[in-house]
């Protein structure tokens, strides 16, 4: 028997629509999930919506359960929380790297149970916190480090929230928008505008996706300091200031990307489970700055998204045909 669900598809630059899609009958090792919430990853999904994924990165940028091919039409997304209605884990709330869709069937090992200590509405941030965990595995911060996070978007705030737990660090969230200050305060982190940020940093995590942010990140470093670059620029070329003090201070610039687990002794599943455990902290609620119904997604995406995570509420959910 074939069921149906409703899913969001990106159809052209700046345009999307909700389509009816088939949902296969689950096998013995599959789960049928009814979505409760999904989240819009503002930076990546806005880039996909405008068709900004470079052709050379089409394979690398595929979401785990993407349908269609870049640039369009494509069903894209990876922040999904639902409840298992059939199969193993029956009745459990789970997180899955699945697009915006009312119901779906995936292998049981593609979902991660949400701990009882984490509300389903907050669990949509698991993909963001997973990225932050991977970034810190790459960055290897130390007790007492002087650290800046440049860029107060979803990922930058996720990194700052985790770094706030490190003992003895001097930590600032740096952003050109003073409106990020209340979010920083909710996370227990000092806030600074770029021109006011404290220098002499051992580590800077850059997540502003701007040339100015990258240049400022390098300028904030102490000798032998490191910038960990988390920004995804898509098809845009960026200029990196490697003159002036870059060599004399022996600075380092390294990439971090969630597609590869930064620790060889951990699996993708272990990293995701850790991210969900960390979301027991209610401070992460500050990262959710907008919400709408699933049916309103096309008009929401056509407008101006909130600065951090936009949560999508599926209400009672669509009953599969």
How far apart, in whole angstroms, are the C-alpha atoms of residue 209 and residue 211?
7
pLDDT in tens, 23-62: 999 999 999 999 999 999 888 899 899 999 999 999 988 9
Q: Which two tokens stand for residue 186?
A: 């909710």
Per-residue pLDDT tens over the stretch 72-130: 999 999 999 999 999 999 999 999 999 999 999 999 999 999 999 999 999 999 999 99
User: Do 3-125+279-313 and 129-255 come out as alike in CATH topology?
Assistant: no
Taking residues 160-173, what's their average pLDDT? 97
Tens of pLDDT along 51-75?
999 999 999 889 999 999 999 999 9
Report the pLDDT value the prediction gives residue 1, as an integer from 0 to 100. 57
Q: Are 23 and 105 contacting, i.e. CB atoms less than 8 angstroms apart?
A: yes
Total number of residues shown for the chain: 321
Cα dihedral sign, 259-149-98-12: negative
Measure the CA angle with vertex 284, ends 278 and 285; round to 5°.
135
For β-strands 221-229 and 201-206, DSSP reports them as parallel
Question: Measured between alpha carbons, how far is 287 from 158 in angstroms, rounded to an integer?
Answer: 8
Which pLDDT band holds residue 319 (cuts at 50, 70, 90)? very low
pLDDT at residue 320, as a whole number: 43
| pLDDT single digits (tens) 169-217 | 999 999 999 999 999 999 999 999 999 999 999 999 999 999 999 999 9
Q: Which residues of 16-52 are buried (b: 16+ CB within 10 A; e: fewer)?
A: bebeebebeebeeebbbbbbbbbbbbbbbbebbbebb
Break the chain into its structural domains and give their ranges.
Answer: 3-125+279-313, 129-255
CATH of region 3-125+279-313, choose from 3.90.180.10, 3.30.479.10, 2.170.150.70, 3.30.1330.10: 3.90.180.10
User: Do 233 and 209 contact (CB within 8 A), yes or no?
Assistant: yes
Q: How far is CA 256 from CA 11, 114, 168, 228, 270, in A?
A: 30, 26, 24, 6, 18
pLDDT of residue 316: 59
CATH of 129-255, one of 3.40.50.720, 3.30.70.1730, 3.40.50.170, 3.60.9.10: 3.40.50.720
231 close to 257: Cβ distance less than 8 angstroms: no
Strands of the chain (E only): list them.
3-12, 15-23, 30-40, 67-68, 74-75, 80-86, 93-96, 103-107, 111-113, 146-150, 170-174, 190-192, 201-206, 221-229, 252-255, 288-293, 309-313
* pLDDT (mean) for 257-273: 96
Specify whether the CB–CB gap between 224 and 248 falls below 8 A. Answer: no
Side-chain-side CA neighbours of residue 159 (13 Å): 35
């Amino acid at each position: 028997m074939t069921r149906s669900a409703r899913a969001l598809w990106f159809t052209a630059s700046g345009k999307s629509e909700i389509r009816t899609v088939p949902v296969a009958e689950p096998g013995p090792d599959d789960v049928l999930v009814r979505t409760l919430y999904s989240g819009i990853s503002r930076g990546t999904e806005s880039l996909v919506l405008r068709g900004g994924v470079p052709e050379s990165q089409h394979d690398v940028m595929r979401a785990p359960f993407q349908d269609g091919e870049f640039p369009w039409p494509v069903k894209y997304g990876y922040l999904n929380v639902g409840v298992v209605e059939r199969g193993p884990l029956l009745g459990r709330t789970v997180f899955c790297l699945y697009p915006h869709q009312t119901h779906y069937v995936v292998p049981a090992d593609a979902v991660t149970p949400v701990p009882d200590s984490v509300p389903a509405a907050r669990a949509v941030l698991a993909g963001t916190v997973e990225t932050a965990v991977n970034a810190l595995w790459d960055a290897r911060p130390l007790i007492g480090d002087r650290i800046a996070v440049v860029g107060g978007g979803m990922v930058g705030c996720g990194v700052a929230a985790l770094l706030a737990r490190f003992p003895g660090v001097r930590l600032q969230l740096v952003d050109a928008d003073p409106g990020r200050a209340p979010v920083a305060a909710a996370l227990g982190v000092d806030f600074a505008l770029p021109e006011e940020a404290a220098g002499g940093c051992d580590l800077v995590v850059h997540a502003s996706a701007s040339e100015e942010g990258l240049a400022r990140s390098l300028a904030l470093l102490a000798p032998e300091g490191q910038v960990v670059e988390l920004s995804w620029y898509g098809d845009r070329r960026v200029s990196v200031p490697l003159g002036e003090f870059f060599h004399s201070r022996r600075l380092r610039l390294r990439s971090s990307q969630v597609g590869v687990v930064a620790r060889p002794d951990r699996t993708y599943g272990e990293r995701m489970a850790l991210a969900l455990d960390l979301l027991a902290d209610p401070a992460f609620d500050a990262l959710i700055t907008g919400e709408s119904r699933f049916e309103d997604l096309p008009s929401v995406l056509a407008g101006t998204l909130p600065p951090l995570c936009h949560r999508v509420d599926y209400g009672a959910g669509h009953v599969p045909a």
